[in-house]
Amino acid sequence: MKKYGFIILGFTLVVILASWGAKGHRAIASIAEKHLTANVKAVIAGYLNGDSITDAATWADEIRDDQQYKNTGSWHFLNLPLGLTRSQFSDFITKQNKDNIYTAILKAEANLQDNSLTAAQKLEALKFLIHFIGDAHQPMHVSREEDKGGNTIQLRYEGKGTNLHSLWDSKLIDHEGLNNTDIVKQYDVATSEQIKKWQSDSPMQWLWESYLISSSLYKDIKPGQTIDDIYYKKSIPVIRKRISQAGIRLAGELNRLLKDQTPIKPAVNTMPAPTPTQAIAIKLEEVKNSTGKKVMVIGKVYGAKDIGSMVLVNLGASYPNQILTVALKGSAKTLADKIDGKVIKVEGTIIDYKGKPEVIITESSQIQIQVAQ
């Protein structure tokens, strides 16, 4: 399969290095959604105001460069020395004098139940909790400070350089080649006994499990090592279980925290609907001179990159020579797998993003696959 380059927004590198990766976090949220009660689903829908719990799963990574959230970096992980007993582990965490993933989870859960907070504040707590429960189950988020959670342990995988943290964030999951629907179908197989047990465990237990796994990962790896298929086959069942546990436990926490809350009505947009304007058919090469105009343009897709909040598609050529960037958001993100390598017609308003023409697509109807003549 031909490989393509992609445009990557400024925050994307942080996302890749700092979490399960968009695919893992969305899978956790999707699994959780299947195990929510009807009332809690309604409560969450009210807070999210039209967004899905799956889309919200990557928010805590995406906002880390915002000035308002600059101090949230340490909320995603825990640094500990190796060789601690269970009691030493708990003692070490509770006596830390700075915010970490454990305190962030407890704070988010408390805020969700604080009736003095506004709906906006509870929404923020909800999105943080969705993400942090996922991070708590990524083993390399509960690991050593000296190698930055495995980020400085360089490895080779699939003929490319990577590191231990990134390997467990996304590389091993990506190697499976599954989309979100298939991941959920294959990962969400816990028995009723497992679900009951997992949901009875405390956040401290979740972190202890990750600590035990990361400790074993350090023992099994050497800097510069080439990761082979044996390592992959040994590791992927662990990843599957951790993502499954995270989803089941997330559902359990949300069902417990929100069970007595009354769903709020999503905010209604009271602004008058804009007068529709007709799209102007232009050649792909003309988009650079069409900023602010609603256009209809045809071109071939050269790769798509999922960055969590959107899928970035290169139209006309591969990065960095793409003529137009098509940003798929909301329900339109499901089009990514269907349009790669195809000639498509796109309808939308051209904007300028850092000197490059871009169009944001939120509805599937804005894109049509063109049949070859």
Number of Cβ within a 10 Å radius of residue 229: 8
- Long-range own/partner contacts, residues 155-158 (CB < 8 A, 24 or more apart): 155/221, 155/223, 155/224, 155/225, 155/226, 155/227, 156/224, 156/225, 156/226, 156/227, 157/226, 157/227
Three-state SS letters, the chain = CCCCCCCCCCCHHHHHHHCCCHHHHHHHHHHHHHCCCHHHHHHHHHHHCCCCHHHHCCHHHHCCCCHHHHHHHHHHCEECCCCCCHHHHHHHHHCCCCCCHHHHHHHHHHHHCCCCCCHHHHHHHHHHHHHHHHHHCCHHHEECCCCCCCCCCEEEECCEEEEHHHHHHHHHHHHHCCCHHHHHHHHCCCCHHHHHHHHHCCHHHHHHHHHHHHHHHHHCCCCCCEECHHHHHHHHHHHHHHHHHHHHHHHHHHHHHHCCCCCCCCCCCCCCCCCCCCCEECCHHHHHHCCCCEEEEEEEEEEEEECCCCEEEEECCCCCCCCEEEEECHHHHHHHHHHCCCEEEEEEEEEEECCEEEEEECCHHHEEECCCC
Q: What is the CATH number of domain 12-258?
A: 1.10.575.10
Residue whose structure tokens are 């269907």: 338
Q: Are strands 154-157 and 367-369 parallel, antiparallel or unpaired?
A: unpaired
Note the pLDDT of residue 277: 66
Q: How confident is the model at residue 262 (pLDDT cuts 50, 70, 90)?
A: very high
For residue 237, CA distances in Å to 29, 179, 181, 243 come to 19, 17, 18, 10
pLDDT digits (tens, 9 = 90+) for 56-66: 999 999 898 78
Note the pLDDT of residue 267: 55
Positive/negative CA dihedral, 158, 160, 162, 166: negative
Q: Can you give the residue ranges of every domain in the chain?
A: 12-258, 280-369
Note the pLDDT of residue 14: 34
Q: How confident is the model at residue 304 (pLDDT cuts 50, 70, 90)?
A: confident
Residue 198 burial class via C-beta count within 10 angstroms: exposed 0-12, middle 13-18, buried 19 and up? buried
Contact predicate 113/126, CB 8 Å: no
pLDDT digits (tens, 9 = 90+) for 71-113: 999 999 999 999 999 999 999 999 988 899 999 999 999 999 9
Q: How confident is the model at residue 232 (pLDDT cuts 50, 70, 90)?
A: very high
Average pLDDT over residues 250-257: 98
CATH 2.40.50.140 fits 280-369, yes or no: yes
What are the backbone angles phi and psi of residue 63, rounded to the nearest 5°? -95, 5
Residue 372, pLDDT > 60, answer: no
Note the pLDDT of residue 59: 93
Q: What is the Cα 162 distance to its own chain's centre?
A: 19
Q: Are strands 280-281 and 294-306 parallel, antiparallel or unpaired?
A: parallel
Out of 154-163, 187-196, 203-212, 336-345, which region has the weakest mean confidence (pLDDT)?
Answer: 336-345
pLDDT digits (tens, 9 = 90+) for 102-111: 999 999 999 9
Contact predicate 61/18, CB 8 Å: yes
pLDDT digits (tens, 9 = 90+) for 238-252: 999 999 999 999 999
What are the backbone angles phi and psi of residue 134, rounded to the nearest 5°? -65, -50
For residue 13, CA distances in Å to 19, 102, 140, 151, 279 come to 11, 24, 17, 12, 35
